[in-house]
Amino acid sequence: MGASFSLFTDVGPIPPQYQVFINFRGEKLRDGFLGFLVDALLKENVNVFIDDHELRGRDLDHLFSRIEESRVALTIFSKNFTNSRWCLDELAKIKECVDQESLTVIPIFFKMKTDDVKKLKGNFGDNFRDLKLTHRGEPETYRRWKDAILYVSKKTGLSSSRYSRQNDLVNTIVEEVKKVLNDIAEIERQIAEEKRNHLAARTDELIRLVVRFLSLFLLFTIVFGPYVLGLLTFFSFLVGRLIINRAVESEW
């Protein structure tokens, strides 16, 4: 029996600027489950990115930029995931962005036992150790990959084994993504509102200072205006006499 989706029935429309990055491995996965998932996300106006959107021949830096631009990453752990250095490099970048609190990752265990991923067991673990041998001269890279696998796999995620129908899993993922994106949008709305309120408060304070200054200036003008005018007249007279005297002296 599929899971209930009642928790997400009030989720609203998704802002189009948010992007979901999907980290996965395998053509079969792309042509099957992933295709249904991408279609379902697009139907809900969720902007999705998968690596076949990149031009061939580009390096990982371009994919890393897409990850940095995204708000949610879906990492689909499958049996062949650890066959690919490319996928593991993406995963390490995803972990980096999650650590910086600029990205939320949702792990999906697709036809995988969660323990096999979390404890690097079975074919998943064997493939990873084989990859380590292939890159034996890069111990730091291997450490980053392992840290990323262990870190992401411990996040709250979804397992295909809990769903009797693939469609139910797809729908649950879509609703989870929508919920995360709406939570992000709400947080950013609150931050923007706080900034507006702060700016409004500063503006009000400035207006009060200007009004106070003008009031004091008006009071000063009313009380001391005649004296100030007299002093200015006397000073102008003295300056005028000085100019005349200088002119007379220059003629002599």
C-beta separation of 33 from 166 below 8 A:
yes
C-alpha to C-alpha distance for 69 and 86, rounded to whole angstroms: 18
Cβ contacts of 126 within 8 Å, gap of 6 or more = none
End-to-end CA distance of the chain: 117
CA distances from 87 to 91, 148, 155 (A): 6, 11, 18
Catalytic residue among 44, 90, 96, 194: 90
C-beta separation of 82 from 112 below 8 A:
no
Amino acid at position 128, single letter: F
Phi/psi-derived region of residue 120, left when phi > 0, alpha when psi is between -120 and 50, beta in every other case: left
C-beta separation of 72 from 20 below 8 A:
yes
96 assigned to active site: no
Enter the tokens of residue 95: 């972990």
C-beta separation of 146 from 95 below 8 A:
no
Positions marked catalytic: 90
